[in-house]
Structure 1
Amino acid sequence: MRQALTDPEIAAQIGRGNVVVVAGKANLAALGTLQTDAVLKVLEAWPGAKVLPAYRRGNVVGAIQVGMSPGPGGNSTAKILADAAAGTVKCLVLVGVDLVSDFPDAQTVESALSSGVSVIAVDTFLSPTAQRAHVVLAAAAAGEKSGTVTNIEGRVQTVAQKINVAGTSRPDWMIATELASRLGTDLGFTSVDSVTEAIAASVPAYAGITPAALRDARDGLLAVPAPTGTLQQSGQQAPPASGYDYRVLVSRELYDLGVNNQMSPSLAGLARGMRIHMNPVDLERVGVPAGGSVRITTERGSRVLTVHPDSGLARWTVWMPFNQPGGGVNDLISASGIVADARIETV
Structure 2
Amino acid sequence: GKTANEIVTGIENGEIRALYLVGADPITDYPNAARWERALRKCEFVAAQDIFLSPSASLAHCVFPACSYAEKDGTMTNIEHRVQRIRQAIPPLEPTMPDWCILEAVAGEMGSSMGYYHVQDVFQEITETIPLYKGLSFDTLPEDGVILDPKHIPRRRDPEKSLFSFAPVRTREEPSTLAERYPFELMVTSSMYHFGSITTRSANILKLCPHGYAELNKKDAEDHGLSDGDVIKIESPVGSIETPVRVVERFPQGLIFVPVHFPELGVYRLFDENTNVCRAKISKKVSEENGVRP
Q: Of residues 136, 143, 154 in structure 2, which corresponds to 1:218? A: 143
Q: Of residues 105, 109, 134 in structure 2, which corresponds to 1:178? A: 105
TM-score by structure 1 length?
A: 0.68
CA offset at residue 229 of structure 1?
7.6
Q: Of residues 137, 155, 172 in structure 2, which corresponds to 1:227? A: 155
Q: Of residues 190, 197, 210 in structure 2, which corresponds to 1:258? A: 197
Other structure's SS at 2:280 match: strand
Determine if contact 1:241/1:247 at 8 Å carries over to the other structure: no
Deviating more after overlay: 318-327 vs 88-97: 318-327
Unaligned runs of 5+ in 2: 159-164, 286-294
Alignment-mate amino acid for residue 252 of structure 1? S
CA offset at residue 199 of structure 1?
0.5
TM-score by structure 2 length?
A: 0.79
| Residue equivalent to 2:130 | 203
Deviation string, structure 1 residues 40-71 (Cα, Å, up to 9, x no partner): xxxxxxxxxxxxxxxxxxxxxxxxxxxxxxxx
Q: Of residues 146, 159, 170 in structure 2, which corresponds to 1:236? A: 170
1:225-304 equivalences in 2 (<5 Å): 225-227=153-155, 233=167, 235-239=169-173, 244=180, 245-253=183-191, 254-255=193-194, 258=197, 261-262=200-201, 264-267=202-205, 271-304=209-242
- Percent identical residues: 28
Unaligned runs of 5+ in 1: 1-73
| Residue equivalent to 1:85 | 12
- Tell me, in whole angstroms, the C-alpha distance in 2 between the residues paired with 1:228 and 1:136: 39
Tell me the C-alpha RMSD between the 2 structures: 3.0
1:134 to 1:314, Cα distance in 2 relative to 1, 3 A: same
Deviating more after overlay: 221-230 vs 147-156: 221-230
1:321 to 1:228, Cα distance in 2 relative to 1, 3 A: closer
Q: Of residues 274, 282, 293 in structure 2, which corresponds to 1:336? A: 274
CA offset at residue 220 of structure 1?
0.9
Other structure's SS at 2:42 match: coil
Deviation string, structure 1 residues 248-268 (Cα, Å, up to 9, x no partner): 111233348935642x55556
**How many pairs are equivalent?**
271
Determine if contact 2:213/2:245 at 8 Å carries over to the other structure: yes
- Tell me, in whole angstroms, the C-alpha distance in 1 between the residues paired with 2:229 and 2:9: 38
1:294 to 1:87, Cα distance in 2 relative to 1, 3 A: same
| 1:155 has 2:82 as partner | yes
1:78 to 1:269, Cα distance in 2 relative to 1, 3 A: farther
Determine if contact 2:186/2:277 at 8 Å carries over to the other structure: yes
| Residue equivalent to 1:55 | none
Other structure's SS at 1:281 match: helix
Other structure's SS at 1:114 match: helix
- Tell me, in whole angstroms, the C-alpha distance in 2 between the residues paired with 1:338 and 1:261: 20
1:204 to 1:300, Cα distance in 2 relative to 1, 3 A: same
CA offset at residue 131 of structure 1?
2.3
| 1:95 has 2:22 as partner | yes
